[in-house]
Amino acid sequence: MLPPAEELSISELQSGQATGRFSAVSITRKYLDRIEKIDRGGPNLRSVIELNPDALDIARALDRERKSGRVRGPLHGIPVLIKDNIDTHDRMTCTAGSLALVGWRPRKDAFLVKKLRDAGAVILGKTNLSEWANFRGSRSTSGWSARGGLTRNPCVLDRNPSGSSSGSAVAVAANLCAVAVGTETNGSIVSPSSFCGIVGVKPTVGLVSRAGIIPIAKSQDTAGPMARSVRDAAILLGCLAEIDPQDPAGTAGLKPPGDFKTPPDYTRALDPEGLRGARIGIARKYFHGHPAVRAVQEKAVQALQSAGAIPVDPVEIPKLANSYELMLWEFKAGLNDYLSGLGPDAPVKSLKELIEFNQRNREEELRWFGQEILIEAETKGPLTDSKYLETLEACRKSSREQGLDSLMQEHRLDAVMAPTTGPAHVTDFVYGDRDTGGSSSPAAMAGYPSITLPAGFVQELPVGISFFGRAWSEALLLRLAYAFEQATMHRRPPGFLDTL
């Protein structure tokens, strides 16, 4: 049987199933027991917003398949949690944490959910998130949704988990699942991963289908893996990756390599010597804030050198255009398209109806902060508007050809390294989130990939570093991150401290 607090990898869980030490049922049951014990009781993490009532039945079916000689793929019998803005066609709902969609069940699986099922995953449940992926109002508190309440950071419970993929990060860190899926527009995978001390991958926009995911901005949205190790993140990414012709946003203008036909096995890129000879640009503009954070980052640069990398120090990332207006346009268009497709029985069918619902239910929905962003988005016109098209062009140009592409070509870089965030701030419902610094914007705006992993601690709070680079460079970034991980081994289980 699986010890409830043991942090086993996907490979160890697969090996245990192959030898008969574990079964999909025993693994699933232990994770369900652990969720009951520490997510809904004990520390009361509130990272899981809904459990799949069919999880054990799915696990039993997968055990029968294994006994008959069929193993679906790398995730056969592996419990996975997914963010509550990703559609599943089962007995679970999809609400983005909002009371406006409570009770509504999607009519089909998101493309990536079908990929997970094909790979043999046990969809264990849905994770809590910053409501509407933290695109609702000013002074918001990450990790809170009206439906799910407040997700707590398992490292120090009065600290914030960041967002918007709060529940996915917390569940992985607290060992409530093997791996989880989050989504990001700008920072929503990498920031909570850094705050909670895990690995997070934001892929190139278009590598993982967005079909069936509640949107924010089609030019930046993507789903991605969240895991306790780089290897597990690589395995999960390989199961999620596939260019989807039905993705309504295509690839945000990013054409995949000509030889990209089937999803690669990203684990083949993992090499403990993978940093040797790599030219890594050190983005010093993000080395600010608390002196203890800067000390962690300086040690990270030293670790790169010790592992044989060539730090190019410093490199200057050019100034980015302001993408907020772009996101408002795309949010209105994308959300209206998503909600209008839910069918005649859906509780709300447009952004306008959502705003009205929140006003009618303000005691629950608007208790801590407002919906100024939703109201501002509602004023925007169609995506054919010339101002939108000009803003889109400015954002792409500043982040791509005049941004990362130019920077990496000038310095002949394999990747850029920067601190992901500072340490987690105390949760505050009065003032909302506190800016602890972050480096997610260059890759997010460009639609390019980034990966974060633990780099050290400030007291008991983890701090991550990010590697980011050119479009479709996931294999390279995973190789670099894996080599850094193996050289430093900073990951450690959370302490569940009440406070510092």
Q: Give per-residue pLDDT as tens, 93-109.
A: 999 999 999 999 999 99
Residue 422 sits in a domain whose CATH number is 3.90.1300.10
| Candidate from 75-89, 281-295, 397-411, 438-452 with smallest mean pLDDT | 281-295
* Tens digit of each residue's pLDDT (9 = 90 or more) over 375-403: 999 999 999 999 999 999 999 999 999 99
Average pLDDT over residues 182-187: 98
Residue 1 banded pLDDT, cuts 50, 70, 90: very low
The answer to whether 398 is a known catalytic residue is no
Angle at 60 between CA 57 and CA 209, to 5 degrees: 70
**Residue 419 belongs to some domain of the structure:** yes
Question: Count of domains in the chain?
Answer: 1
Whether residue 102 lies inside any domain: the answer is yes
CA angle 43, 49, 53 (to 5 degrees): 110
Q: Which of 47, 130, 142, 164 is catalytic?
A: 164
pLDDT tens-digit readout, 298-312: 999 999 999 999 999
Per-residue pLDDT band at 3 (split at 50, 70, 90): very low
**Where are the alpha helices (H) located in 250-385, listed in sequence order?**
291-306, 324-340, 351-360, 362-365, 372-378
Whether residue 47 lies inside any domain: the answer is: yes
Q: Which residues contact 5 (CB under 8 A, 6 or more apart)?
A: 34, 175, 493
Active site residue: 83, 114, 218, 380, which one? 83
Cα-based torsion angle of the residue sequence 407, 409, 412, 417 in order, rounded to the nearest 10 degrees? 30
Report the percentage of the chain scoring pLDDT > 70: 97
pLDDT band at 248 (very low <50, low <70, confident <90, very high): low
Judged by DSSP in three states, 214 sits in coil
**What's residue 2's pLDDT?**
41
> Is residue 494 situated within a structural domain?
no
Evaluate whether residue 369 is within a structural domain.
yes
Predicted confidence (pLDDT) at residue 372 exceeds the cutoff of 80 = yes
Active-site annotation holds for 229: no
Give the pLDDT band (50/70/90) at residue 262.
low
* CA pair distance 213, 206, nearest whole angstrom: 13
1 in any annotated domain: no
Neighbours of 434 (CB within 10 A): 12
Rounded Cα–Cα distance for residues 108 and 304 (Å)? 45
Q: Could you tell me if residue 175 is left (phi over 0), alpha (psi between -120 and 50 degrees) or otherwise beta?
A: left
pLDDT of residue 404: 98
Structure confidence at residue 246 as a pLDDT band (50, 70, 90): confident
pLDDT at 259 over 70: no
What's the rounded Cα separation, in Å, for the pair 479 and 470?
14
Q: What was the pLDDT predicted at 250?
A: 52
Q: Is residue 384 classed as helix, strand or coil in its secondary structure? A: coil
Identify whether the C-beta of residue 231 lies closer than 8 Å to the C-beta of residue 178.
no
Q: Which residue has the higher pLDDT, 260 or 244?
A: 244
Segment 1-9 mean pLDDT: 64
Point out the catalytic residue in the list 140, 188, 219, 466.
188
pLDDT of residue 9 exceeding 70: yes
- Is 218's pLDDT higher than 70? yes
CB 444 within 8 Å of CB 202? yes
Nearest-5° Cα angle at 427, 421 to 432:
85
Minimum mean pLDDT among 285-289, 294-298, 321-325, 352-356: which range?
A: 285-289
Strands 79-83 and 149-150: unpaired
2 within some domain: no
- Counting residues of the chain whose pLDDT is more than 90, the rounded percentage is 92
Asked whether the whole model's pTM tops 0.85, one would answer: yes
Using one digit for the tens of pLDDT, what is the confidence trace for 324-369? 999 999 999 999 999 999 988 889 999 999 999 999 999 999 999 9
Segments forming the whole domain that contains residue 315: 10-488
253 pLDDT tier (thresholds 50, 70, 90)? confident
Exposed e or buried b per residue across 297-326, where buried means at least 16 C-beta atoms within 10 angstroms of its C-beta: beebbebbeebebbbbeebebeebbebebb
What does 349-369 look like in DSSP terms, one character per residue?
Answer: -SHHHHHHHHHHTHHHHSSSS
Q: How far apart are CA 337 and CA 156, in angstroms?
A: 39
Active site residue 68: no
Tokens 């050019």 appear where? 318
| Cis peptide upstream of residue 191 (ω within 30 degrees of 0) | no
- Average per-residue pLDDT in the chain? 95
Q: Is the confidence at residue 288, as pLDDT, over 60?
A: yes
- The reply to whether 498 falls in a domain is no
| pLDDT tens digits for range 400-413 | 999 999 999 999 99
